[in-house]
């Protein structure tokens, strides 16, 4: 497999690891939003969130919190963004599931989205109905 993150897991490519257990590894992003920006990846290869087993997802949640708190303390960050890009339209560049822990500071210049559309009340209602329907069917 020609996956950059699988090569990091295998030790073929060096990384500044901040955490490792039998299922996950976390390391510093080489193109950080701010210093301390870390990535958490499962050791097993999954393309993204949609491929990960639910039991692994349930283990990931507490780990995200643990690493986010450690990053916040170590960097003295004023806030933390958690990011997870899934598929190209969402900005996923490496197709091995990974979660970003991004330390943030007031005035750091990293812009966040502020909604590109302004749906009507009717559009909101239809979207909510459609999402609930899909939840029931899953």
Range of the domain at 10: 4-137
Place of tokens 């996956």: 3
Active site residues: 98
Question: Is the pLDDT reported for residue 79 higher than 70?
Answer: yes
pLDDT tens, residue by residue, 34-76: 999 999 999 999 999 999 999 999 999 999 999 999 999 999 9
Count of structural domains, the chain: 1
CATH number at residue 11: 3.30.428.10
Residue 113 has a pLDDT of: 66
Q: What does pTM read for this prediction?
A: 0.89
> Nearest 5 degrees, angle CA 47-CA 57-CA 25?
70
Q: Which percentage of the chain shows pLDDT scores above 90? A: 79
Residue 115 has a pLDDT of: 67
For residues 37 and 75, the answer to whether their CB atoms sit within 8 Å is no
């Amino acid at each position: 497999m020609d996956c950059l993150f699988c090569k990091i897991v295998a030790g073929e490519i060096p990384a500044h690891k901040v955490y490792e257990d039998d299922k996950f590894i976390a390391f510093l992003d080489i193109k950080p939003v701010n210093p301390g920006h870390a990535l958490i990846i499962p050791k097993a290869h999954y393309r993204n969130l949609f491929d990960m087993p639910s039991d692994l997802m349930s283990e990931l949640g507490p780990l995200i919190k643990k690493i986010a708190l450690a990053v916040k303390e170590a960097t003295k960050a004023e806030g933390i963004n958690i990011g997870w890009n899934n598929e190209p339209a969402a900005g996923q560049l490496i197709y091995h599931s990974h979660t970003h822990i991004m330390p943030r500071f007031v005035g750091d210049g990293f812009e966040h989205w502020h909604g590109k559309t302004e749906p009507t009340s009717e559009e909101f209602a239809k979207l909510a109905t459609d999402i609930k329907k899909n939840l029931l069917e899953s």
